[in-house]
Structure 1
Amino acid sequence: MTKRIPQATLLPRTENSFPWGAADRQLVPTYLEKYGYEEEEYLYSGEADVYTLKDGRAQVKFSNAPYTNRFIIRKPKDPKKFSGNVVVELLNSTNSWDVSPMWCLLWQKMLHEGDIYVGVTVRAICTQTLKQYDTKRYEKLSWKNPNPNPGPVNHNILLWQHCLPDCEDGLLWDMLTQLGNLFKSEQGTQIAGKEVEKVYAISCSQSSMQLSTYINVFHETDRVSPVEVPYDGYLTYSGCRMVALNQEESPADVTDEIQMTKNCPVPLLRCVTQWDFKDFTGHINLRRADSDEQGDRFRLYELAGQAHNSFSGAFYRPGYEEIAQIQKITALPHTDITALPLEAFMRQALTNLDLWAREGIPAPHAQGLIEVDENNMEVLDENNNCKGGFRFPQLDVPVATYCSGTKKNDQDSCCVYFSEEKLKKLYPTRRNYIDKIFKAIDVLEEQRFFSIEDADQMKLDTLKLAVPCRNHSSKFEA
C-alpha cells in the first residue's frame, strides 16, 4: 500500500495578510509568544480519491483528484520543547467558516506540555469563506469535483448542507490520511522542528461525525481499508453518527451495522453530552461497551449535565473584525452557559489518550451510562438532574439544576440555582458543603478524570462560592 504524502507550502503572515482564526485575533486573543509558541499557516496539495460505500467497504469512485487544502499550526519556537505529539483538530464548519472548539478546551494543556496543534479545514464551503476573507491569500485552495458529470447534491441529510456542486466534500478522507502522513514524513519533521512521535485526531460536533466516519470506514481492524491510517489515537466530543462518503449519496441509516464504531486498533475516547440524547444525533443507537482489547480500544463518556457548547467556546473564536470581513452576523457571546469543569475533563482525557497510546495504560472507565426510560429520555433525580453517566462534582454535590438547552440557544446549557432555603437544607453549614464537594473532586482526581493541578484549582474556585446561601459569610462554620 503506497503512502501518499502531500506537499506543504508556507503561507507567510504579513502586515496586511494573516491566517483566518489566528490566535491573536480571536475574540479573546491568545498571545502565543508569551508561551514560547509561534503560529504558521500552510497550504498542502496532493491527489485524493472519492469513495463510495459498498457492502460495508470504501470503494474508489473517482481517483487521483488534485486538491489544495490548508492547515494552521501552533508549535514551540524551540524544537527541544516539542513533546513529540501532533494534535490535529478537524475544524468545525457548522457556520460555513472554520472554528476550533477543541482548541478552546485544550490549548492550555497543549502549550504547557509542548504539543503541536494543527487545525485543518474539512469542508469545501469553508474554503469559499476563506477566499471571501482574503482572496489573494487563499486563491489556490481547491476541492474541485472530479466527476465530469456531477449529479445533484444530496442536501437532505444532517451534515452536507451548504454543499458546493463544483466541489466534492468527499475528498476529505484522503486529505486526512495524507495530512497524518505528512507529519510522519521528513517534511513533517522539518515543519515540527524534530521528529514527530505520535499524531492524534480530535473533533467536536459535526467534525466528530466526520471523524467517526473516517474511523469506522478506514480504521477498523476487520474492515479492508484502501489506505494505511497514520493516526495513533482519537478524541471526539459530541457527535458520533456517520456522514456520507461523498456529497451525492446519503449516509448509512443510524441503525446500520457500519454506524457502530468497533474494532479500532488505536485508542478512541468518545465524549458525548446530555444534549446528544436528542433524536437526530443518533447517539442512543450507537452506545456500546468499553473495551481494552488490542484491536478494539474504546471508551465512552456520557457527560451528565453538559450541553453541546462549552463556556470557553463562546470566547476563543474568530473576532468581530474577521466575521465582518466575511459579511456574516453573529450574536454577542453570553455568559449564562453552565460552567461545569468540561475543560479540566477534556484536558485529562487527552492525557489519558496519550498514556494509552504510548505506554499501554488504559483510560479510566466512567461510572456508567446516563439512565434513560422506555422513551430514551433521561431519568431525572430529585433535583431534576439526570441520573448516571460521568458525573462532574457539581452533579453529585449540586447547588443547581443543570439544563441541556436555553431560551437563547438550544445547544447551550444553563443552571437554575436552588433557593437559599433548599441550599441550607442540603448543606446546613458551609463546612458541610466544602467537605462534600472536595471529596467528590478528590475521587475524580484519584480515578484520573482530573489532573492534580485542575483538581486543586477547582477547590480554590469552590472556596469563592457563597454556599449554602449567596450572602453567606465566606468563613467556615463549625
Structure 2
Amino acid sequence: MVFLRLPVNVRCVPAFATSMRQACYLLCLAMLALTSNSHADDIAALPQVSGPVPVTAQSHPFGAADHTLRPQNLTDLGYIEEEFFVSGLANVYDWPERGRLDVRTAQTPYTTRVLIRRPADSARFSGNIVVEMLNPSNLFDLNIGWAMSHTQMLRNGDAWVGITAKPIAMNTLKQFDAGRYAALSWANPLAATDPQNCEVGGDTTQATENGLIWDIHTQVAMWLRSADSTNPFRYHQAASAAQQLYAWGYSQTGSFLYTYINAIHPHVVDAIGEPLFDGFLVAVSSGPAPINQCADRIARDDPRRPIKNVGVPVIHVMSQSDYLFGIESRQPDSDAPGDRFRRYEIAGSGHASPDELYWGPKPADLIQAGRAVPPLACNEGPRSRFPNKLAFNAALVWLDQWARDDIAPPRAELIQVVDGQPVLDEHGNVVGGLRSPYVDVPTSTWNGNSTGESFCRIAGHEIPFSQDKLTRLYPTRADYVDAVTASVNELVAQGFLLAADGAGVIREAEQSDFWE
C-alpha cells in the first residue's frame, strides 16, 4: 500500500461548508496521525515545522521580498513574510504505469524550507493560498509565481507559499547562509554503492534524492490546512483560515506539478477522501518530470503524460517560446465535472521573462551563494518585456472561480501552426493564441526565442516598429490610445483580460512617446 487508507467513514466531503470542511480535515489529519505509526511504508500525515526563522541584520531569507533586484516593502503593502523549516518522512516512488505508484524507498527523513507571504490582517485574507514549488533551473530558488502575479495576489488578499523543491536549490541556500540553513537535508537514503542509487549528472548527485518532493508537497499542504500551532494561517484562531489551495508550477516545476497531478494526486484523494489542492496551474511545461532521479524520462507517447480526470480544475499555460516544443501536449479543453481543463498559449510571450529576475534574489545574494547572475539581455537585446502577468493574473482568477463557483473560464484559440511552423500576421506576430493589446494593437514584433547565454533561447525579445510604420498605423497618440482602449474593452468583455490590468494597459498607452 502506497498511501495510508483511512478507516471506513473517515472522509473529507467537498460539499461541506467551509467550517465543516475544516473540521473534517482536522479529523482526517488526526486519524492519519493515530494510524501512521503502524504503517512503516506510509506517508507521514503532518510534518514538523519550526519558525518563523528569525530575521536579523546579519541573516535574512534567501529571496526575501526586500532583498530582490526590485525590493518590495511588504509591510507597506499590508503583508507579512515568514520563513519556516519543514521536516518529515517522505517516500521515494516508482511510477511504472498510470494508476500505479510503488514505494521505492520508504520513510526518508527530510528538512526543507518554506517561504510565506500573507496578509497581516486576517480580515484581508481571501482564503486563497497559491502554493509554488520554487523553480531551481538556475540552481537557486526563483519565485516565478510571485514575480508574475503578485499584483493580483496583493489586490485580492491572496497568500503565497514557496517551497524549496530540489536538493540543488538547498545547496545554494547552504552556501548563502550556512548557519541559517544548516538543518536542511534532502539526503539520499541509499548508499552510493546501492544498485538502486544510479549514477546521475547535471545538477543532481547520488548524495541527495530529487524524488522526495512529492510527499513534501503533500505534507506542506496538509500543514497549511491544519490547526497545528505553527501554522500562520490560523491567525491566532483555533483552525486554519485557508479555504482554497492552488498548486502552481513553472517550467521545471511545471513538470514537477505534471507528475504530482498524474502520479500522486489520485492517491492523496484516495487516502483522505478529497483533494488537498483545489486547482492546479501548470505553466510552460509539456510533460511530467521523472518520479525519482533514477527513473527514465517519460516518452512523448506515454499514457502517463495526458492530464485528465483530475477532479479539480487544471489550467495549462504555454508561452510563445515553448508551445511548439510541447505541441504533442495539446489537449482539448473540457468542462466535464471530473475533467475540467483549459490550455492557453500566450501570443507574444517569452518563457524566461525579466520579471523572474526583477523579483528574484538580488545579485549580491546570488554571488554570496556562489551562483551566476542570470543576464537580463541576450544577443538580440533585452529580455522580452512582454507582460506575461496579464495572462497569469487572469488564470488565477479563472482557476479560483472555477474551483469555488464552477464558473468555467473562456476558451481561447491556440496559436495557429501549419507544417510545424506558426502562422504569422503582417507584423510578424503569431496568429491565434491568448490575445492581448500587445499583439492586437502592436508596436513591435514579439519573438519567443533569442540567442545567447543562460536561458536566452527561451527568453524572447521584441523588434520595435520603425517610426514610419508606427505613424502609418497610428497617426496620432489619440489614435493609438483609442485602438488600445477598444482592444482592452473587447478582451475584458470576452473574459480574457482583467479590468484592473486593462486599465494599466490603457495608462501605458496614454504615456507612450512615439510622437515626440
TM-score, L = length of structure 1: 0.91
Q: Which residue of 1 aligns with 2:511?
A: 464
Q: Which residue of 1 aligns with 2:400?
A: 354
Q: 1:8 aligns with which of 33, 43, 49?
A: 49
How far apart are the structure 1 equivalents of 2:171 and 2:102? 28
Q: Which residues of structure 1 form unaligned runs of 5+? A: 156-160, 474-478
Q: Which residue of 2 aligns with 1:412?
A: 459
Supply the AA of the counterpart residue of 1:20: F
Q: 1:306 aligns with which of 319, 328, 349?
A: 349
> How big is each residue's C-alpha offset from its partner over 1:333-371, in whole Å with a ceiling of 9 and x where there is no partner?
3483333332122112111111111111111211x1111
Contact preservation (8 Å) 2:349, 2:448: yes
Q: 1:241 aligns with which of 259, 278, 287?
A: 287
Q: 1:53 aligns with which of 90, 95, 100?
A: 95
Worse-matched range after superposition: 202-211 or 394-403: 394-403
Contact preservation (8 Å) 2:384, 2:460: yes
Tell me the CA shift for residue 182 of structure 1. Answer: 0.8
Tell me the CA shift for residue 188 of structure 1. Answer: 7.3
How far apart are the structure 2 equivalents of 1:188 and 1:103? 26
Q: Which residue of 2 aligns with 1:397?
A: 441
Q: Which residue of 1 aligns with 2:141?
A: 98
Tell me the CA shift for residue 273 of structure 1. Answer: 0.7
How far apart are the structure 2 equivalents of 1:82 and 1:189? 18
Contact preservation (8 Å) 2:322, 2:458: no
Q: 2:223 aligns with which of 158, 176, 182?
A: 182
Q: 1:26 aligns with which of 65, 68, 73?
A: 68
Are 2:339 and 1:292 aligned? no
Q: Which residue of 2 aligns with 1:426?
A: 473
Aligned residue for 1:80, secondary structure, equals: helix
Q: Which residue of 2 aligns with 1:204?
A: 250
How far apart are the structure 1 equivalents of 2:167 and 2:304? 25
Contact preservation (8 Å) 1:434, 1:462: yes
Contact preservation (8 Å) 1:75, 1:115: yes
Tell me the CA shift for residue 16 of structure 1. Answer: 1.6
Supply the AA of the counterpart residue of 2:304: I
How far apart are the structure 1 equivalents of 2:264 and 2:229? 22
> How big is each residue's C-alpha offset from its partner over 1:59-102, in whole Å with a ceiling of 9 and x where there is no partner?
11111111111101111222232211111111010121111111
Q: Which residues of structure 2 form unaligned runs of 5+? A: 7-31, 33-44
Are 2:205 and 1:164 aligned? yes
Q: Which residue of 2 aligns with 1:318?
A: 361
Supply the AA of the counterpart residue of 2:66: D
Are 2:412 and 1:370 aligned? no
Tell me the CA shift for residue 189 of structure 1. Answer: 8.0
> How big is each residue's C-alpha offset from its partner over 1:170-197, in whole Å with a ceiling of 9 and x where there is no partner?
1111111111111111127841114211
Contact preservation (8 Å) 1:182, 1:188: no
Supply the AA of the counterpart residue of 1:275: S
How far apart are the structure 2 equivalents of 1:189 and 1:8? 6
Distance of aligned partners of 1:188 and 1:93 in 2 relative to their CA distance in 1, 3 Å threshold: farther
TM-score, L = length of structure 2: 0.84
> How big is each residue's C-alpha offset from its partner over 1:424-455, in whole Å with a ceiling of 9 and x where there is no partner?
33334544433322211111111222222211
How far apart are the structure 2 equivalents of 1:25 and 1:296? 41
Q: Which residue of 2 aligns with 1:173?
A: 214
After TM superposition, the structure 1 = structure 2 runs for residues 55-204 of structure 1, keeping only pairs within 5 Å, are 55-56=97-98, 57-148=100-191, 149=194, 150-155=196-201, 161-187=202-228, 190-192=231-233, 193=235, 194-204=240-250
Tell me the CA shift for residue 314 of structure 1. Answer: 2.9
Distance of aligned partners of 1:195 and 1:226 in 2 relative to their CA distance in 1, 3 Å threshold: closer
Q: Which residue of 1 aligns with 2:26?
A: none
Tell me the CA shift for residue 211 of structure 1. Answer: 0.6
How far apart are the structure 2 equivalents of 1:423 and 1:122? 46
After TM superposition, the structure 1 = structure 2 runs for residues 369-388 of structure 1, keeping only pairs within 5 Å, are 369-374=414-419, 376-388=420-432
Contact preservation (8 Å) 2:349, 2:387: no
Question: Kindly, what percent of the aligned residue pairs are identical?
Answer: 34
Q: Which residue of 2 aligns with 1:260?
A: 306
> How big is each residue's C-alpha offset from its partner over 1:276-310, in whole Å with a ceiling of 9 and x where there is no partner?
1353xxx1111011111111111100011111122
